[in-house]
Structure 1
Amino acid sequence: MDLSTLHNFRVAACDLNGQMRGKRVPPSYADKLSKGAVRMPFSALNVDLWGADIEGSPLVFESGDADGVLLPTERGPVPIPWLSAETALVPMSLYDDAGTPFAGDPRHALSAVISRYAQRGWSVVAATELEFTLLDASGPHPQPPLNPITGRRLTDEAVLSVAEMDAFEAFFTDLYDGCAVMGIPAQTAISESGIGQFEINLNHQDAMRCADDTWLFKALTRGLARKHGFSATFMAKPYANDAGNGMHVHFSVIDADGRNVFDDGSPEGTDLLRSAVAGCLAAMPASSLIFAPHGNSYARLVPGAHAPTGASWAYENRTAAIRIPGGAPAARRIEHRVAGGDINPYLMLTAILGAALIGIEDDMKPPAPITGNAYEVDGLPQLASSWSEAIDQFEADPIMTRLFPLELIRNMALTKRQEIARFADRPEDQHWLSYLEAV
């Protein structure tokens, strides 16, 4: 799209919490973006949930809060359908003045992992399944939204209900139209098991494009919900006694000849597939902070509550943390089912794809696949049981240093510890307001 014809447009990069940090700029910047016309402090990608600087952060107190250079990503400009005026967003990444990628930028972390696959002559194809909840946020506590047809508040679960989808037809029509103009490959939508909960699947595509589109889809969904008079949230647990929001990832690896390296023509898949599974299992406990990055996330990670808490894998078993779906062997893939809807998609895919590659590099062997209900299997390695435990594991585990830059690990730990301290000073029944549209 021609940015120079707009009244203004936005430039933004993704911070550690998945929020957009950037600027509104005039159309005169359109031809200058790739020349480094927009600068932003490195610390802006390492602020807390509310946008505050991190106390004691070297980015602020040792470097003098230096600026980096924002440069456009290959995703290119996209329209912003949730605003009334015609405008656009240009996704950016942060670099230093020498052109070196800033190690604290989540998108650069994923790019580094994808580059390691490319060194083998491989590319990664990925897709996300995103659950979110529509709710009424006008009162002191979150409530289900009003049914646009009946005017009455939703009260019950409506698994795969076509009638519930039809009730919100105007919203979903705008959502699919928004995906179309933004180039986001939205596929099927369903009514999920929670009250006012829905799921939309994005189609398989290049892994970086998958992360970009997942990031943009979350912003689009929240923005359009506001236009329709309610809120949309990807909080892991919007209601204490209802289903949580998850985000499943499917991925496969393609070699230089276009062959799926996980496919050997059988339902079981290749040794490479099993090594990738083993890597994902080995990294899973210490990756808890990536899959469950907020205090609210741990209300979802309760054994037996349809969110995997133990590191297990299986064929065609939706209770396992890692599932190998059936179907045509050419489409053999790994489904990683641990993450909540509140994740940063760049960090999530870095953790998953990086762990799979470590499994392949180290020729890891997984345990036998489970059968039956994973929640009843004893002795499985467990995800962290609390936010603070997840931070400690993420910071100390040697596998994490093979997945993420040390600077990002340090920044993430500092950020999350500050958020724990700030939430401790806020009434617990108001925590949801901080998460509502931030995650």
Structure 2
Amino acid sequence: MQSRKVRTAEDARALVTERGLTHVKIGVVDIDGIIRGKYLAREKFFSALESGIKFCDVIFGWDSNDQLYDNSTFTGWHTAFPDATARIDPATCRELPTEPGMLFFLGEFDEAAAAICPRRLLQRVIDRAAGMGFSPSVAAEFEFFMFDETPHSVREKNFRNLTNLTPGWFGYSVLRSSVEAELNRSLLQLCEEMDIPLEGLHTETGPGVLEAAIQYTDAMAAADRAVLFKTFAKVWAERQGKMVTFMAKWSNAYPGQSGHLHLSLRGTDGKPAFHQAGRPGYMSDTMRHFVGGQQALMPELLAMVASTVNSYSRLIPGFWAPTDATWGIENRTCALRVIPGSPSSQRVEYRVAAADINPYLAIAAALGSGLWGIENKIEPDAPISGNAYDIKHDTKRNLPRSLAEAADRLSNSNVARELFGDVFVDHYAMTRNWEEREFRKAITDWELARYFETI
């Protein structure tokens, strides 16, 4: 049996037995989009397929650097960090080409932890779409810089003066992609074997930067593909003595790294819901209201998309990233780009997202806000033609300028609470305020250079 044919627990058991595996690898995704996991012995895995597997719920009680939150109500020293139950989704079975014969499965949390589990949150939004008669399709694309560095060397250099894989600005370069052909082809092969099919892979403008466009699929599978791509692109690079980063902006000298999301809906009849001939941009009423909801809620939900302090270094004028909740037809200066085309290709590109997204949360925000727009028939502003940066927008379209501001907007959003639940909103806003406070503790190179001697 092929790994991607696995759909049930029985299928998973049969494949593990057929291969004679003594262990399999499983993973769950935390608030920051990091896969946390372990190897499981075969019999333990078989048991987990039926009754779940226990993880210490500190997975939701610490940050991306394994530092404990100081005011989490969900878990902490006050709860003694009990176990939380995760269930394995057999249909996520993947080959691990870096470990020949090994199988990998994703899981998600049940019981109390389900309220804040990113994968379960997205499932609730998908269920909302189904209740409205829609099936969402999503595609993610990521920009990422590659370096001729290792985890040790970047730390020895204090993350400064790093050696990029290639020099110069070579967007869409056949020269660079041909010189690095073996490297590019090995990434394409890895993604193909892991069922993360790439529709495109090319150099972007900047030294050693690539962009990978993952093929569209249903919303949950798209999120799974995106989180697996981010993790295993890092694995692939480090096994070859290289490194990649998915930071939103790693250097002031270069544009930020996008993680754009493309979304569309189909009706229960399987027909595209966004396309209507004869309309501006071929936009149906459903699509117009979807965009209206996304535009209206983007400032309130931004923390779910721009989820790190670094995210806000990217959201500045003139660097291919939006600064306001704007939209236009085929306009890359806007936060939302409507892409007109055939019924099956008509979609909206959610351009505010960067490469640092937690795919489950970002897709939940982009999709949930659009569905809310359909439910409430929210009309968007007039589409913007030309350069959105040169236009003064209504203040209600202003995006938060910091993670702390975004977290407060999310916490105070009644719509966010209606879409995602109080438990998630309270916990997530707490984690983002923690992230901002941790940043405020740091003394930056800029401060030292500016104040050390002269003040």
Same fold (TM over 0.5): yes
Aligned AA (1:20): I
Per the alignment, residue 15 of structure 1 pairs with 30
CA contact (8 A) 2:303 2:432 kept: no
Aligned AA (1:236): A
Aligned AA (1:70): A
Q: How does 1:78-117 map to 2 (within 5 A)?
A: 78-83=94-99, 86-96=101-111, 102-117=114-129
How many angstroms apart in 2 are the aligned matches of 1:225 and 1:427?
Answer: 31
1:45 paired to 2:60: yes
Q: CA deviation at 1:145?
A: 4.0
Q: Deviations over 1:50-85 (max 9, x none)?
A: 1233222222245442322111125422123345x6
Residues 368 and 224 of structure 1, relative CA distance in 2, 3 Å threshold: same
Q: CA deviation at 1:413?
A: 2.0
Q: TM-score, normalised by structure 2?
A: 0.87
Moved more, 199-208 or 43-52: 43-52
Q: TM-score, normalised by structure 1?
A: 0.90
Moved more, 360-369 or 32-41: 32-41
Per the alignment, residue 81 of structure 2 pairs with 65
CA contact (8 A) 2:108 2:120 kept: yes
CA contact (8 A) 1:132 1:232 kept: yes
For structure 2, the 5+ residue unaligned runs are: 4-14, 447-455
Q: CA deviation at 1:370?
A: 0.8
Per the alignment, residue 159 of structure 2 pairs with 141
Aligned AA (1:371): S
- Secondary structure of 1:412 counterpart: helix
Per the alignment, residue 192 of structure 1 pairs with 204
Per the alignment, residue 168 of structure 1 pairs with 180
Q: Deviations over 1:105-143 (max 9, x none)?
A: 001111001001111222011111111111244223345
The alignment covers a number of residue pairs equal to: 420
Q: Deviations over 1:403-422 (max 9, x none)?
A: 32221222222222222333
CA contact (8 A) 2:282 2:341 kept: no
How many angstroms apart in 2 are the aligned matches of 1:429 and 1:90?
Answer: 41
Q: How does 1:34-433 map to 2 (within 5 A)?
A: 34-58=49-73, 59-83=75-99, 86-96=101-111, 102-137=114-149, 138=153, 139-143=157-161, 145=163, 147=165, 154-266=166-278, 267-380=281-394, 381-429=397-445
How many angstroms apart in 1 are the aligned matches of 2:195 and 2:160?
Answer: 32
Q: CA deviation at 1:167?
A: 2.8
Moved more, 46-55 or 59-68: 59-68
The percentage of aligned residue pairs carrying the same residue is 30
How many angstroms apart in 2 are the aligned matches of 1:101 and 1:206?
Answer: 24
RCO greater where, 1 or 2, for CA within 8 Å and sep 6 or more?
1
Moved more, 257-266 or 344-353: 257-266
- Secondary structure of 2:114 counterpart: coil
- Secondary structure of 2:142 counterpart: strand
How many angstroms apart in 2 are the aligned matches of 1:257 and 1:243?
Answer: 42
- Secondary structure of 1:347 counterpart: helix
Q: CA deviation at 1:146?
A: 5.6
How many angstroms apart in 2 are the aligned matches of 1:323 and 1:37?
Answer: 41
For structure 1, the 5+ residue unaligned runs are: 148-153, 431-439
Aligned-residue Cα RMSD (Å) equals 2.0
